[in-house]
């Protein structure tokens, strides 16, 4: 018995929601095949597309899978094949896709004994291996689809949010790798009350905009006063890409997850494609190699 699953890439943070907001991309992701076996434990049998460890304890998929097995009374095991399309260290939830895909597929094959929120907790163990911190803002949208809010971590409280129909994401990935663990180390641990007020105003505004289908409100709220000023220094051409994206009609633009990918949200596919062209021109002008994607969000 086996299942083939699509594991979506995700944009975490979405500017104002550091560690709490994320969205799944419908058109960008990995594929996995997960099959039941009689041998206990998790075996990663094949990885294509990237050079990643096959050893269960060293692979985020293996670690997430073991977390599920630990809470299950199933006596057998699973074999996993991972076909990576999302590059590790790109900022669009590569590790989350593998962790989330594994536990979703295992749960399906076991007859769905666990809730989506429980699956998020298992998948977070994979994130812990990848970035030292068990953040859920990539794995939650990868499992629930669409936008999710992690209202709280202790206990975990994931709130799925609505996705306005015409919202499209553009994501450009300059071909450098930034480890989430490294880009977390450079952050300050305190923020001023003034910055806090701006940030939670925007976060609430963005969530309200999603519920009201209010694209202008979504656009006004896509700002980050806390993390972007620090992390953007690591990303080539960030300021130009942001300026050009907004000039091309994007509602907002910021760092995807811990970078280096940069995302923009737009109303309608045409604008999202125009934004992709504008981003492309910036990197072509400064000779930075890149991948660019336009994806619906649902």
**Site size for ligand HSE (CB under 6 A):** 11
Q: Measured between alpha carbons, how far is residue 224 from residues 24, 146, 164, 182, 263 in Å? A: 20, 21, 21, 19, 13
Q: Does residue 138 touch ligand HSE according to CB under 6 A?
A: yes
Q: For ligand HSE, which is the closer residue by CB, 74 or 153? A: 153
Please tell me the distance from the alpha carbon of residue 171 to that of residue 264, in angstroms, as a whole number.
7
Which one of the listed residues 102, 148, 180, 223 is annotated catalytic? Answer: 180
Q: Pick one of 19, 81, 118, 166: the residue that binds ligand HSE (CB under 6 A).
A: 19
Which is nearer to ligand HSE, 42 or 206 (by Cβ)? Answer: 206
Residues 6+ apart with CB under 8 A from 32: 4, 5, 7, 61, 80, 81, 82, 83, 98, 101, 102, 105
Task: Assess 86 for contact with ligand HSE (CB under 6 A).
Answer: no
Asked about 180 being catalytic, the answer comes back as yes
Write phi, then psi, for 146 (nearest 5 degrees).
Answer: 65, -150
Taking CB under 6 A as the rule, does residue 220 contact ligand HSE?
no
Is the separation of the CB atoms in 18 and 149 below 8 Å?
no
Is the Cβ of residue 209 or residue 259 nearer to ligand HSE in the bound state?
A: 259
Which of 65, 126, 257, 260 lies at the binding interface for ligand HSE (CB under 6 A)?
257
Binding residue (CB under 6 A) for ligand HSE from 90, 180, 202, 261: 180
Q: Which of 137, 223, 224, 228 binds ligand HSE (CB under 6 A)?
A: 137
180 vs 295 by CB, closer to ligand HSE = 180
Whether 177 is catalytic is no
Region of 13-21, 45-53, 155-163, 246-254 interacting with ligand HSE (CB under 6 A) = 13-21
Contacts (Cβ under 8 Å, ≥6 apart) of 56: 41, 42, 43, 44, 62, 63, 65, 66
Point out which span in 10-18, 39-47, 71-79, 81-89 binds ligand HSE (CB under 6 A).
10-18
Q: Which of 15, 170, 245, 258 binds ligand HSE (CB under 6 A)?
A: 258
135 touching ligand HSE, by CB under 6 A: yes
8 A C-beta contact, residue 210 and residue 162? yes
Closest approach of ligand HSE to the CB of residue 284, in Å: 27
Q: Which is nearer to ligand HSE, 102 or 180 (CB)?
A: 180
Nearer to ligand HSE, 133 or 286 (CB): 133
| 12 near ligand HSE (CB under 6 A) | yes
Catalytically active residues are 127, 180
Residues at the site binding ligand HSE, with contacts judged by CB under 6 A: 12-13, 18-19, 135, 137-138, 180, 184, 257-258
């Amino acid at each position: 018995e086996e299942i083939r699953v699509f594991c979506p890439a995700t944009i975490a943070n979405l500017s104002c929601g550091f560690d709490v907001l994320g969205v799944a991309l419908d058109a960008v992701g990995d594929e996995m095949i997960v099959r039941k076996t009689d041998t206990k434990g998790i075996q990663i049998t094949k990885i294509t597309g990237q050079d990643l460890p096959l050893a269960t304890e060293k692979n985020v998929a293996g670690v997430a899978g073991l977390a599920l097995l630990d809470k299950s009374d199933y006596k057998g095991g699973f074999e996993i094949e991972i076909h990576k399309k999302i590059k590790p260290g790109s900022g669009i939830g590569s590790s989350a896709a593998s962790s989330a895909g594994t536990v979703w597929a295992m749960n399906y094959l076991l007859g769905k004994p666990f809730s989506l929120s429980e699956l998020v907790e298992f998948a977070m163990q994979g994130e812990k291996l990848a970035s030292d911190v068990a953040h859920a803002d990539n794995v939650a949208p990868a499992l629930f689809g669409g936008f999710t809010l992690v209202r709280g971590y202790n206990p975990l409280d994931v709130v799925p949010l609505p996705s306005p129909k015409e919202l499209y994401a553009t994501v450009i990935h300059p071909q450098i790798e930034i480890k989430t663990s490294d880009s977390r180390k450079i952050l300050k641990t305190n923020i001023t009350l003034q910055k806090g007020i701006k940030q939670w105003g925007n976060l609430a505004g963005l969530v309200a905009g999603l519920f009201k289908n209010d694209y202008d409100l979504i656009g006004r709220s896509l700002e980050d006063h806390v993390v972007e000023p620090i992390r953007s220094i690591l990303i080539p051409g960030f300021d130009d890409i942001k300026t050009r994206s907004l000039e091309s009609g994007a509602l907002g633009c910021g760092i995807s997850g811990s970078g280096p990918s940069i995302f923009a949200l737009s109303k309608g596919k045409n604008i999202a494609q125009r934004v992709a062209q504008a981003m492309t021109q910036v990197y072509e002008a400064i000779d930075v190699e890149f991948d660019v994607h336009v994806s619906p969000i649902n």
